[in-house]
Chains A and B, each alone.
Chain A
Amino acid sequence: MKKGWLYQAALLAALGLVFWVFASNTAQNLEVRRIASGFGFLSREAGFEIGETAFLAYSAADSYARALAVGLANTLWVAALGVVLATLLGLAVGLARLSPNWLLARLAAAYVETLRNVPLLVQLFFWYAIISEGLPPPAEALQPLPGVFLSNRGVFFPLPGDAPALTGFNFAGGAALSPEFAALLTGLATYTAAFIAEIVRAGIESVPRGQREAARSLGLRHADEVRCVVLPQALRLAVPPLTSQYLNLAKNSSLAVAIGYPDFVSIANTTMNQTGQAIEGVALIMAVFLTISLSISAFMNWYNRRVALRGLRR
């Protein structure tokens, strides 16, 4: 026992030494090459514009810290909406795949197999191309509903007392959904939904047959059987694997950089290039995604404990 502790302590000390050597060597090399280091750049003026900002106001005169905060808000916004949409769509497709309707079940199966077997990056380019090449320029915008405009600049919705109108190059006023955001959200939600559908299906199929038979012998209709008996048990099983899909979605949102949505990684990349401080930038990206992922994990574990059957061992 004593010896065991000694080994552990030695291992820890060795690891600490390795990290110390790496850190001091890095600092020394940066010093030798006269490459600036430290987080002082965060308070300097960023000087670049950001195409869209969720919740936070921003201008080029703001600091790098503010720009990064805008990027973080954009990442959280697309990830949060993505999780909600992916869950709803995944649930629908998962149910459809088990439907007694042959056509519906096959369509759902085709959806799952197509979406989860094509790389997400390719899908993002596909959605972005559909939106930016498939829709007309602002001057010829489609108007599916009064006041709602659809063009290659995105979707514009009217807000109370603030209707979008075409002024010069683009629409102004109202609320807008940019093509980059729409493509990223669609890509993330549809891709993750394919995996969630399979989780839902697995959850449902794992509910013992006896439960369904019991529901039917009580005289419940198919819809009620699914809603009141099967889903509550199935979704409980689905929570742990869902967590990893939510984590994947949050991490995959960093592919935004390929289609020009200003997420945290995109802003951090620009910051790294303007300041040349790659090590600090990568550290920030790692810290942010670690925090997001651990938060999702903690929440889902809490939720799992809440919905799990007490005292039941599986």
Chain B
Amino acid sequence: MKLVIRCAAVLAALSAGHASAQATAEAVAKKGFVQCGVNVGLAGFSQPDSQGVWKGIDVDLCRAVAAAVLGDASKVRYTPLTAQQRFTALQSGEVDILSRNTTWTLSRDTSLGLNFAGVNYYDGQGFMVPAKRKVKSAKQLNGATVCVQPGTTTELNLADYFRTHKMKFKPVVIEKLEEVLNAYFTGRCDVYTTDVSGLVAVRASRAPKPAEHVILPEVISKEPLGPAVRHGDDRWFDIVKWSLYAMIEAEELGLSSKNIEQQAGSANPAVQRFVGATGDLGKMLGLDNRWAVHIIKQVGNYAESFDANLKPLGFERGINKLWTQGGLMYAPPIR
């Protein structure tokens, strides 16, 4: 699978003309759906439910873009991608958006030819250990064997942390999530490391007995997770960026999927602009003027997405609260 994607990337790079770089929005309108690269299965972020319907906050971002561009949040097709496949899939044009709990870093933003459209979850890397090991702090992990997935910032932060604290460790690097978790749960490794959100999700949804695993207090990195698009298509970049901001702004304005129709007649000028009753913000994006209504009505605001997908797994809003409540979620003015 990985090789297939790599070969596809190489072939696409070989054959594609460069006209394609400019026209993702037109291509999406023409084919009638958004092709979205998501995680192969991370509870709360992107995972198919028992009916095979994809759910999660990363999935909601894809649905928001489909609602904004096509007026229908269900017009999304999903491509599950491993950490290793994700960038090539985006670069080669196989997916229109990469919404796959991906950390925004300088080198990815530049040398990988990506543009990060914002942050839909502020995360950080942590460690999970079996409770019976009686480990209280990551500083006690000298000599531990650590299970980790390849091709992520996780692998680099891990090496940095142990170097900084002059400790040794042995990595066991396995690509498939099932295999790496199996290695941890069967005791091949002492520690499993990934973003804290991933640890919480894995503990809640994959651990045979969730209570037997503890997440250590140290958060060893900044992991702003967000959607990414290809370099060189500014219009598509704008659409994805403002679709995300619309969800955050709606929470701040108190607009939700339940009340947006009633609120459309509100006297608040910010709401009037948001729903497209005044001004032509939608047209500036090259979209229907009710683009934001489609998003909020069909997908919901950021809080609704968070509560539906992450809260049931035991996630706290924490630093992902709105800036007005002491968090980091902040949308630039929609005007």
Residues of chain A having any CB pair with chain B under 8 Å:
22, 25-26, 28-30, 32-36, 47-52, 60-61, 132-133, 137, 152-153, 167-170, 172, 179-180, 257-260, 262, 266, 269-270, 272-276, 278-279, 282
Contacts and interface: CB of A to CB of B under 8 A. Distances in A.
Given A49-B169, A260-B172, A276-B87, A33 B113 contact: yes
A266 B150 contact: yes
Given A26-B13, A132-B183, A266-B150, A274 B111 contact: no
B21 A170 contact: no
B18 interface: yes
Nearest to B84: A273
A137 B187 contact: yes
Contact of B14 (A22, A48, A152, A269): A22
B15 A257 contact: no
B13 A279 contact: yes
B185 to A, nearest CB: 10
Contacts of A48: 155-156, 158-159, 171
B16 interface: yes
B175 A257 contact: yes
What bracket does the count of chain B residues touching chain A fall in?
Answer: 35 or more
16 contacts: A26-B10, A33-B21, A47-B160, A51-B172, A52-B170, A61-B163, A170-B190, A179-B188, A180-B172, A259-B174, A259-B179, A276-B91, A278-B10, A279-B10, A279-B13, A282-B6
B172 A152 contact: no
B144 interface: yes
B151 interface: yes
Centre residue among B108, B110, B155, B231 by max chain A CB count within 10 A: B155
Contacts of B186: 132-133, 152
Contact of B232 (A33, A132, A258, A260): A33
A25 B163 contact: no
B142 interface: yes
B91 A170 contact: no
Of all A-B residue pairs in the complex, the 5 with the closest CB atoms, nearest first, are A273-B151, A60-B159, A276-B112, A260-B174, A36-B111
Contacts of B176: 258
Contacts of A276: 87, 91, 107-108, 111-113
A51 B187 contact: no
B55 interface: no
Contacts of A30: 13
Contact of A26 (B14, B143, B158): B14
A273 B111 CA distance: 11
B47 interface: no
A25 B14 contact: yes
Contact of B173 (A28, A33, A260, A278): A260
Contacts of B87: 273, 276
Given A32-B21, A33-B113, A273-B151, 20 more contacts: A22-B14, A25-B15, A34-B110, A34-B231, A48-B159, A49-B159, A167-B143, A169-B143, A259-B179, A260-B172, A260-B173, A260-B183, A266-B173, A273-B84, A274-B151, A275-B111, A279-B13, A282-B6, A282-B7, A282-B10
